[in-house]
Amino acid sequence: MTYRKLSEQVQLLTNPQRSDTFVKDFKNAVREGEFEAAYLSNERFQLPKAFTRRGSDATYNRSMREMIFEVTPAFENWFEEKNRELAASRRGGSIKPTIETIEAGLVDFSELAKATRQKMQASYNKGQSLGKSRARGSRK
């Protein structure tokens, strides 16, 4: 059996600025029983994310309690999916649809196409109803 520390797994993240979110999701997964992990007594590690205080340019790091877990295929699948989710930076709240985000699987192309089709249909219907209302008004 292979065991790994949480700090080692955090170093494997594509986007280290999302390490706090990863640790939170990791702890939630352990709590829900998706995989097993245990705290290592009195060990802590620094998150690679640089935090800033409001109104200041100074940065600081947070430390978390170290955990150890068994590396299983289920964990590897969970990590791969979570890493893909956290790969894009989350500045605007939603991921912008670009070729890169669609190819990376961060944006569902079929949902994007469906939303585009609905917008186009709504715009077409609005134009048709506007044209019909104006046509009726000019016959007086």
pLDDT one digit per residue (tens) for the chain, 140 residues? 789 999 999 999 988 888 999 999 999 999 999 989 999 988 999 998 888 888 888 888 888 999 999 999 999 999 999 988 888 655 556 777 888 888 878 888 999 999 999 999 999 999 999 888 887 765 55
User: Taking the model in full, what pTM does it have?
Assistant: 0.59
Q: What is the pLDDT of residue 132?
A: 86
If asked whether residues 84 and 63 sit together in one domain, one would say yes
Q: Which two tokens stand for residue 116?
A: 């585009």
* Cα–Cα distance measured from residue 75 to residue 31, given in angstroms and rounded to the nearest whole number: 14
Residue 103 lies in a domain: no
If asked whether residues 121 and 74 sit together in one domain, one would say no
Q: What is the pLDDT of residue 10?
A: 92
Q: What is the pLDDT of residue 101?
A: 82
Range of the domain at 127: 108-140
* E strand segments, the chain: 3-5, 37-46, 51-52, 59-60, 63-70
Report the domain count for the chain.
2
* Cα–Cα distance measured from residue 35 to residue 31, given in angstroms and rounded to the nearest whole number: 9
Q: What is the pLDDT of residue 23?
A: 94
If asked whether residues 46 and 78 sit together in one domain, one would say yes
If asked whether residues 72 and 49 sit together in one domain, one would say yes
